[in-house]
Amino acid sequence: MTSFLNALPGALSQGLIWGIMAIGLYITYRLLDIADLTVDGSFCTGGAVCVMLILGGCNVWVALLVALLAGMVAGLVTGVLHTACGIPAILAGILTQLALWSGNLAIMGMRANQSLNVNKYQLLVSMRYLSDVAKGKQPFYLYPIFTVAMATIIIIAILYWFFGTELGSSLRATGANQNMARAQGINTSMNKVLGLMISNGLVALSGALLTQYQGFADINMGRGAIVIGLAAVIIGEVVFGKLFKNFALKLLAVSIGAMIYYVVIQAVISFSGINSNYLKLLSAVIVALFLSVPYWKNKWFAKPVKKGGAHHA
């Protein structure tokens, strides 16, 4: 129990950081109805860019911004492959992800990992600050849960504003009904590219934050990111779906979903002593189950519904 409680702040911090990634995924998966596999690559891209820039003496804020932009470029590539080249979205994402494997290694100077010494650089978030703030060595606002929570709130606020604008609404319409969107003069191809860019930008930003938090970037850090992101989206919807109807709250639910996911994983590690190499198997099983439930519910437990409902007009 003590080991679990000791690990809890770390799990929450990690959950919050991955929550930003999951919010990015929510944009493609829920709003655009695209399962975007680019994220497994662009998450690491964010980390790689961030670590190299900071090592090169760059300001941490600039490093984060460039990481975000790098992620947007990854999304742009997937978007162009999908819309201009007619490649199915899922395959376009896989292609970009594969290409990013080489790209990420190149960014990290052809090394599989690069570490950041928290003693040498002033970082925005770090695992070390968890204890440093508790001991009073660092100001309270550097407590990772606080820092990342603030970042999450700012991101949600910006997205809430954006998806309420004319452009943002047209992006939502693109995901909701492409025929209708085109008939209303909306350039659906451009909107899909834009959505993929915003999404991957956030994913890369999340990767950059995680890199700072754990003090290194690793070529494998994004592996299975889409599954963790989906887990967060689905847990958020299952737990808060009935309660949160507002768009900003839905995004908040995704972030909380990611925290729940990490706390559960931490609990599994602390209490069962399972070899942590099994965690990816566990995640996949959990997500597969949650994705199957709505389908099974429809198939086996659906009440007969009148078709169309045209008779009530």
The residues binding another protein (CB under 8 A) are 162, 164-170, 172-173, 176-177, 179-188, 308-313
Alpha carbon dihedral 279, 7, 208, 149, in 10-degree steps, equals 120
Q: Which is nearer to another protein, 303 or 312 (CB)?
A: 312
Q: Which is nearer to another protein, 245 or 299 (CB)?
A: 245
- CA 80, CA 85: separation in Å to the nearest integer? 7
Q: Please report the sign of the dihedral spanned by the C-alpha atoms of residue 41, residue 44, residue 50, residue 53.
A: negative
Q: Which is nearer to another protein, 166 or 273 (CB)?
A: 166
User: Quick one: tokens of 191?
Assistant: 């909107």
Main-chain phi, psi angles of 199, to 5 degrees: -60, -50
- Residue pair 16/184 in contact by the 8 Å Cβ criterion: no
- Give least dist CB 304 to another protein, A: 18
Q: Which is nearer to another protein, 66 or 173 (CB)?
A: 173
Radius of gyration of the chain (CA): 20
Q: Which is nearer to another protein, 1 or 183 (CB)?
A: 183
State the number of CA atoms in the 13 A half-sphere of 191 facing the CB: 25
Q: Which is nearer to another protein, 13 or 83 (CB)?
A: 83
- Give least dist CB 169 to another protein, A: 4
User: Quick one: tokens of 140?
Assistant: 């309270």
- Give least dist CB 190 to another protein, A: 9
- Give least dist CB 181 to another protein, A: 7
User: Quick one: tokens of 263?
Assistant: 């706390």
Angle at 143 between CA 214 and CA 63, to 5 degrees: 55
- Give least dist CB 31 to another protein, A: 9
230 Cβ partners below 8 Å, 6+ apart? 25, 29, 287, 291
Cβ atoms within 10 Å, residue 149: 17
- CA 210, CA 16: separation in Å to the nearest integer? 10
- Give least dist CB 160 to another protein, A: 12
- Give least dist CB 247 to another protein, A: 11
